[in-house]
Structure 1
Amino acid sequence: MNENAPATPPRPLRLSTVILPHRRWHEGARETWLRAEELGFHTAYTYDHLSWRVPFRDGPWFGAVPTLTAAATATERIRLGTLVTSPNFRHPVTLAKELLTLDDISGGRITLGIGAGGTGFDASALAHSGQEPWTPRERADRFAEFVPLLDRLLTEDTVSYDGTFYSAGGDVGAQNIPGCVQRPRLPFAVAATGPRGLKLAARHGQAWVTTGDPKLYETGTPEESIQAIRGQVAKLASACEAIGRDADEPDKVLLTGFTPDRTRPLASVDAFVDFAGRHRELGFTELVLHWPIPDTAFAADQKTFEAIATEALSQLD
């Protein structure tokens, strides 16, 4: 594929947020999810980890599925989801049951962000003493089996499966009746940058998620980041074309906060409009902003953040 080919006209851009699950529900968390809906965000996501990096590692951190269940009962319109779930501590059979229940409670407002997972606490919390975390190849192997099985579990009433890493149903089959409110199932947003993950995104994803190129996080430039992300988009397109899928069909989601210019987009509405416009030209259809958390890497002025949520998209038209 020619990376320098003229781009197709950009699709409308959606703005979403991710709310980290570090606050008690009745001590500010509930109000944050309600405010996200009031501000008009398309989706409010949360991380699906057992704990996360400093400064959150040694403080409160709540489960994604119960948090989303509470958010589903508190809100009415905003979509909800994980960004992202991984096989590190999940099994497709139990996850499928939780997801179809969430989809039912929310009235069909759930999106599953899903990725191969990484190192850290999630990768070792369920391990035996002395057991090494999975290597990148082992995580990719599990992910390649996890996603298609989860797809089946959420679209078929009864599934029997016996794979290398996962099994489902035994002799009677794993049942997931009545299935999702969203048909044929709730959407997958597949986080991937490598060739195997991009193939899964092309085949199973209603959306694809990236954070950019992690190698550029510390020392890269914004222009280098744009070029790297352009390359990722091109590789996704090639993966789609290889299976006969329109490369423009999957939504393209950028989880912001991990590119070299990570703090600039939230400095002002104008700065965000510039950032959003450059990424929309690459084909992105959704940008996800971290809800501001003081004294962390996600610190930002709350008033500016809310002005971006309510004013920025209209300036891209």
Structure 2
Amino acid sequence: MTGPRIGTVVWPMQSWPEAGDTWRRAEELGFHHAWVYDHLAWRGATPWYDAYTTLAAAAAVTSRVRLGTMVTSPNFRHPVPAAHAIKTIDHVSGGRLTVGIGSGGTRRTSDGGVLGGPEWTAAERAGRFAEWVGLLDRLLRGPETTFEGEHYSAREVVSEPGCVQRPRVPFAIAADGPRGMRLAARHGAGWITNAVAPGREAPEVVRSRLDALRAAYDAEGREVGDRILLTGFTGEPWLESPQAFADLAGRYGELGVTDIVLHWPRPGTRWDADMDVFERIAAEHGTGVSGARRPS
């Protein structure tokens, strides 16, 4: 079927090897991509396992589905060890990794707040985000990086042999405001939104953000990359039925969304859903083949 590609967020709450079975199932169902949240904890959910370690393990038990973080936080990961882990996962997966990156959460218990120190203002968070992405870009392109920034530094970091994907693993940048949009246009092969804005309907939110994204890409002289919609936060009935999904996917596809991400059903939560409906959606809208994509 034509329309946006589909992916799923796999909750990092299962121990191994049960979690491995879920990642393999995501591939078998035909999802184009499968993602994991990058938090230290999340809304009181336990257990909660590490995103990068999980992706390395998932890469080893799958062969086709594209893998990614939804999204990496700059607030508790330094770019140097993050780049090292990213290159490793890219090699383990055979070039199937996309690094989703955002400005991180504001809850102290789930993000950088657990490391201690003062609270950051919105401007400080945005500045750290931009510097983190720029340094990560340099570290992954290599061959050697020395950098001294306001928030992060690196000294004579050798990047060879580098990533499987060239010139580096693609980034998908989660951003809603002008500064983040510019960051996505400068460094991103993709962009992520959850369509949440108080008092506004989700389609209109996506439409206006896509307009801003296109303007940012035009200013950088680049073509707009993947436009990824993370569902599950706006109350829309994505998993009510295959027809409901098809109707919504068609509507957002017309707006310009290229990829839609569904949460793996999680009983007893707002992300609960009929597993049969979930699997039928994957069968009708997935392909089972994704492979590696080169960043734009």
1:140 to 2:126 alignment: yes
Structure 2 residue corresponding to 1:228, chosen from 177, 180, 205 = 205
Aligned counterpart, 1:7: none
Matched, 1:199 2:182: yes
Map 1:157-196 onto structure 2 (within 5 A): 157-169=143-155, 173-196=156-179
What is the distance in 2 between the residues matched to 1:138 and 1:177?
Answer: 32
Aligned residue in 2 for 1:21: 12
Look up the equivalent residue of 1:161 and give its one-letter code: F
Question: How far 1:25 sits from its partner (Å)?
Answer: 1.5
Structure 1's unaligned 5+ residue stretches are 1-10
Offset of 1:123 from its aligned partner? 3.0
Match of 2:37 in 1: 47
Rg larger in 1 or in 2? 1
Report the Cα distance in structure 2 between the residues aligned to 1:232 and 1:197, rounded to whole angstroms.
Answer: 11
Q: Give the structure 2 partner of residue 73 of structure 1.
A: 60
CA distance in 2, matches of 1:274, 1:138: 40
Q: State the secondary structure of the residue aligned to 2:238.
A: helix
Looking at structure 2, the residues matched to 148 and 196 of structure 1 have their Cα atoms a distance apart, in angstroms, of 13
Matches within 5 A, 1:1-317: 12-26=3-17, 28-54=18-44, 56=45, 59-120=46-107, 121=109, 122-128=111-117, 131=118, 133-169=119-155, 173-216=156-199, 224-246=201-223, 249-261=224-236, 264-312=237-285
Runs of 4+ aligned residues of structure 1 deviating over 2 Å after TM superposition are none
Measured in 2, the distance between the counterparts of 1:142 and 1:13 equals 32
TM-score (norm 2): 0.93
The count of corresponding residues between Structure 1 and Structure 2 is 284
CA spacing shift, 1:29–1:214, aligned 2, 3 Å:
farther
RMSD: 1.4
Post-superposition shift, 1:313?
6.1
CA distance in 2, matches of 1:25, 1:279: 36
Residue deviations 1:187-235 (CA, integer Å, cap 9, x gap): 100000011000000110000000012424xxx5xxx211111000000
Please list the CA deviations of residues 86-129 of structure 1 after superposition, one character each: whole Å capped at 9, or x if unmatched: 1110111110000001101111111000001121121311114x
TM-score (norm 1): 0.87
Separation in structure 2 between the aligned mates of residue 252 and residue 193 of structure 1, nearest angstrom = 12
Q: Conserved in 2, the CA contact under 8 Å of 1:161 and 1:167?
A: yes
Find the residue that maps to 1:215 and give its secondary structure.
coil
CA distance in 2, matches of 1:168, 1:61: 30
Aligned to 1:5: none
Q: Which amino acid aligns with 2:70?
A: L
Instruction: Report the 3-state secondary structure (helix = DSSP H, G, I; strand = E; otherwise coil) of the residue aligned with 1:125.
Output: helix
